[in-house]
Amino acid sequence: MEPLLIEKELILNLSFVQDKSVVEQHPNLKQQIVNATLLGNNEHKKVKIIFKDDVGTKMVETTIWASGQKFICLKGGSWIPIHRIVEIIV
């Protein structure tokens, strides 16, 4: 199923409550997060983030400013739980 392209400002309105949601993640997701964070901080480059909220699969094109153990922080202050990310495309 094709992900729904959304604006990063809409992420604040999404729900990530259902922790039982199983997301099939790209095998190199951790490295994708590291690379995308470096691109965001050094080159202010946008990446495509494919993720799942409680409703379905979404995609956002934005800059990743920071990443932690459980979340990534996007430009504008939105957060996405890492366990809901499918893939990051540079």
- Rg of the chain over Cα atoms, rounded to whole angstroms, equals 12
Q: What pLDDT does residue 18 have?
A: 78
Query: Structural domain boundaries of the chain?
Result: 4-12+23-89
Over residues 66-76, mean pLDDT: 94
Q: What is the pTM of this model?
A: 0.94
Q: What pLDDT does residue 76 have?
A: 86
pLDDT digits (tens, 9 = 90+) for 6-64: 999 999 999 999 776 689 999 999 999 999 999 999 999 999 999 999 999 999 999 99
Main-chain phi, psi angles of 41, to 5 degrees: -80, -40
End-to-end CA distance of the chain: 20
Q: What pLDDT does residue 75 have?
A: 86
Over residues 76-83, mean pLDDT: 94
Q: What pLDDT does residue 72 have?
A: 98
Task: For the domain covering 4-12+23-89, report its CATH number.
Answer: 2.30.30.100
